[in-house]
Homo-oligomer: A and B are copies of this chain.
Amino acid sequence: MVKERIRAWMREHTEEAVQFLSALVQEASLSGQETGAQQRVADKLATLGLIVDMWEPGGEELIRHPYFCSPRQSFIGSPNVVGVWKGCGGGRSLILNGHIDIVPPGDTSRWTADPYSGRVENGRVYGRGTTDMKGGNVSLLLAIQCLKELDVQLKGDVIFQSVIEEESGGSGTLAAVLRGYTADAAIIPEPTGMKIFPKQQGSMWFRIHVYGRAAHGGTRYEGVSAIEKSVLVMEAVRSLEQKRNEVITDPLYAATPIPIPINIGKISGGDWPSSVPDVVVLEGRMGVAPEEELDMARQCLDDALMQIEDDWLRDNPPELEWFGAQWVPGSLDTEHELMNCLVDAYRNILEEEPVVEAAPWGTDGGLLAKVGETPAVVFGPGTTALAHYPDEHIEIARMMACAEVVALSVLQWCGVRGS
């Protein structure tokens, strides 16, 4: 029985997988420093016999693309890596997509050890990127290696992608799509904690300038406080959030208190305790529903700000801009055949019912679907709560279980010759 053969293979290769993950974590693949990690991935893919394509994204088609979103325009020193395992034909193709870029470690004094140690302890591998998402990437590579070494002949192609820039707006995946790498579907092992997320919330960052009129604090009534006006703006944002979430009835969001939140993450204004502040800047993140267009969401916020009932704000309207990263939302029908494959494989391996929900954050799946016409589902071994935090780590057992589920899903989706 194939499940048993996969499990046995995984058991034998756990040690090797852990070593590979540790090595990958030790390559601190921060934005702009991805070459070391990507070279390891490319070498691994070559060893497995895949056709390896390693290139630095760039060019007008990418930079001018309407979905291009990045703080940089040059990716010299930041290669994408793709490995293709050609099937023998007649099957469905599958993209296995994981990002290699990691977020900065933050205050390293809050880490128990070096953020890039890749140390192994209590059945976990520690380090920045373990959960988000090098552990997931290793699950994908294990699945491929396992099927290769079990001499499986797939009908459909498997396209493994190790992309840059997911944390900054997805230009790595966009570049891969534009290079022609699309498929019938995709799996992305972002840290879902082994939940299956057929839908993913998109998100965009915004900045609002709220204006007031300066005055001396002792005669504050001669001025208009931009801080007080920013409270009205925040109330408008809160009531827009409520309005947008009331209409979401998707059962995948049943357990989510606020399916698509609007978060105000940053505020700053004024420069002197005894002056009335004349400008406040708010920065935040707007959630975008799985089926929503980014432009529609932008318009909602713009409208909400323009409709605030306040004479001062009507005459001195807040200024809204969109900046920084964005994540395109994604939505796969829960009845999609890839969902069936994944859910079946999960039941088979984990011997329990999987949790199927909507992701509270965006992934590169939105770009794969929207630009590459490759619908994606997100399923991975990491834990959101650990991503971007000190002492990030991943459970080795989960990474291996995820690899088993992915291997079985690949078999079912791509099809096996002669079966």
Evaluate contact between B267 and A217: CB separation under 8 angstroms: no
B324 and A261 form a contact (CB under 8 A): no
Closest chain-B Cβ to A42's Cβ sits at a distance in Å of 31
Q: Is A163 an interface residue (CB 8 A)?
A: no
| B258, A360: Cβ atoms closer than 8 Å | no
Whether the Cβ atoms of A277 and B267 lie closer than 8 Å is yes
- Give the secondary structure class of A's interface: mixed
From B217, B257, B266, B280, contact of A270 by CB (8 A): B266
Q: State how many residues of chain A have any CB contact under 8 Å with chain B.
A: 44
Which of A1-9, A89-97, A219-227, A331-339 forms part of the interface with chain B? A219-227
Residue pair A277, B265 in contact (C-beta under 8 Å): yes
Interface status of A350 (Cβ within 8 A of chain B): no
Report A256 CB to chain B, min CB distance, Å. Answer: 8
8 Å CB contacts to B: which residues of A7-35? Answer: none
Which of A173-181, A283-291, A306-314 has 4 or more CB atoms under 8 Å from chain B?
Answer: A283-291
* B residues in contact with A277, CB < 8 Å: 264-267
A261 touches B221 (CB 8 A): yes
Specify which of A218, A220, A258, A271 lies most central, judged by the most chain B CB atoms within 10 Å of its CB.
A218
**What sequence of 0s and 1s flags, for each residue 337-363 of chain A, a beta carbon within 8 Å of any chain B beta carbon?**
000000000000000000000001100
A269 within 8 A of B: yes
A263 lies within 8 A of chain B by Cβ: yes
Check A201 against B218 for contact (C-beta < 8 Å): yes
Within 8 Å by CB of A273, from B218, B263, B270, B388, lies B263
Residue-wise, chain A 287-329 has the 8 Å CB interface mask toward B (1 for contact) of 1000000000000000000000000000000000000100000
| CB of A268 within 8 Å of the partner chain | yes
How many copies of this chain are found per oligomer? Answer: 2
Q: Does A203 contact B267, Cβ atoms closer than 8 Å?
A: no
B216 touches A361 (CB 8 A): yes
Residues of B contacting A261 in the complex (Cβ-Cβ under 8 angstroms): 217-221
Task: Pick the residue among B203, B217, B234, B284 that contacts A284 (CB under 8 A).
Answer: B217
- Is A248 an interface residue when CB atoms closer than 8 A count as contact? no
How distant is A324 from chain B, measured CB to nearest CB, in Å? 7
A384 within 8 A of B: yes
Residues of B within 8 A of A283 (CB): 270, 273
Instruction: Report if A400 contacts B (CB, 8 A).
Output: no
Chain B residue contacts of A273, Cβ below 8 A: 205-207, 263, 265-266, 283-285, 324
A284, B218: Cα distance in complex, Å: 11
- Contact indicator B219/A360 (Cβ below 8 Å): yes
- Asked whether, in the complex, the Cβ of B258 is within 8 Å of the Cβ of A266, the reply is no
Given contacts A216-B361, A231-B234, A274-B205, contact A221 B267 (CB under 8 A): no
Inter-subunit contact B218/A360 (CB<8 Å): yes
CA of A269 to CA of B268, assembled, Å: 7
The 10 residue pairs across chains A and B that have the minimum distance between CB atoms? A217-B263, A274-B285, A266-B270, A218-B360, A217-B285, A218-B361, A273-B283, A221-B257, A265-B273, A268-B268
